Amino acid sequence: MIPPRFEYHAATSVMEAVGVLGQHKDAKILAGGHSILPAMKLRLAQPATLVDIGRIKELSRIIADANGTTIGAMTTHAMIAASNDIRQRLPALSKAAELIGDQQVRNRGTIGGSIAHADPAADYPAVLLALGAEMHAIQITGSRTIRASDFFVDLMTTALKSNELLVDVRIPALAPRSGSAYVKFPQPASRFALVGVCACVTLDDKGVCAKASIGITGACASARRATATESALLGKKLDAAIIQAAAAQAASGMDCLSDIHASAEYRAHLVTVMTARAIQAAVARVM
């Protein structure tokens, strides 16, 4: 299928890109093109102008420092999966990137494109919620930081404004004695998450859970925190029975999606099973 006609603008700097976004009301960013181009061919999106940000080198990098890791919006899933820094510091994010689609999708698709698109079955939102990420967005008049908990608003809807460019994602360093893990039950054809869960736990020196954050994708219209499960873990030694009991509450209050791939009941059950696995894997990684 052929997309409708559009103007094409290849930006060479961030300010040039936001300048075009600001001038053209109906302009959209083109990153890896793996979501927007199919949507245009199906006439689900009809932007008058596409602003290609693929030539802006500063958007395609991973910077790790003592306080955290910054990932440029144009960094591909393949670059994230191949990064030693990310594998060592943020194994949950590394695994999420490695599990996205197939090699071709990982070579072209970007973290910025994935989270700006906000597909309910995308992998990164669960990880970014659990790890307390912040998104840095810029427009012609200034920039702002948006916490992951405020960023994912609804089905294919984020807090980004139409004239804003997502520049990078910042993930704080994990506290000492923390472990994180991402597990997913993939839809067998696309590999998108029927349910994906990221757990991050911090234990004190007696092995008691001092902090727990759990992000869930695929189950609802947008990624959610499993707050009841997080509360049930706090102050406990995380043995198998405690983890199972806490994970059993993971879908409470969630309005799970129902579609041709899975019923709401099936997704809710998967949420509890995958949450238990993610917590177990995170606890096993505590160093």
* Residues at the contact surface with ligand FAD, assessed by CB under 6 A: 28-36, 73, 100-101, 105, 109-110, 112-114, 116-117, 119, 122-123, 160, 165-166, 190-192
Distance CA 234, CA 215 (A): 16
- CB under 8 Å to 30, separation ≥6 — which residues? 36, 37, 50, 51, 52, 53, 54
In this complex, which beta carbon is closest to ligand FAD, that of residue 77 or of residue 178? 77
Output the smallest distance, CB 192 to ligand FAD, in A: 4
In this complex, which beta carbon is closest to ligand FAD, that of residue 39 or of residue 242? 39
In this complex, which beta carbon is closest to ligand FAD, that of residue 119 or of residue 230? 119
Output the smallest distance, CB 54 to ligand FAD, in A: 9
Output the smallest distance, CB 131 to ligand FAD, in A: 16
Output the smallest distance, CB 34 to ligand FAD, in A: 3
- H-helix or E-strand containing 14? helix 14-23
Helices 240-247 and 264-284 sit at what angle, rounded to 10 degrees?
150
Report which of 94, 123, 242 is spatially closest to residue 181, judged by C-alpha positions.
94
The pairing of beta strand 134-139 with beta strand 142-147 = antiparallel
In this complex, which beta carbon is closest to ligand FAD, that of residue 118 or of residue 283? 118
In this complex, which beta carbon is closest to ligand FAD, that of residue 73 or of residue 283? 73
What CA–CA distances, in Å, run from 193 to 92, 126, 280?
Answer: 15, 10, 19
Output the smallest distance, CB 22 to ligand FAD, in A: 13
In this complex, which beta carbon is closest to ligand FAD, that of residue 15 or of residue 175? 15
Task: Tell the residue number behind the tokens 């696995």, with chain if given.
Answer: 277
Output the smallest distance, CB 33 to ligand FAD, in A: 5
Distance CA 226, CA 223 (A): 10
DSSP 123: S
DSSP 76: B
**In the structure encoding, which two tokens stand for residue 10, read together?**
């290849």
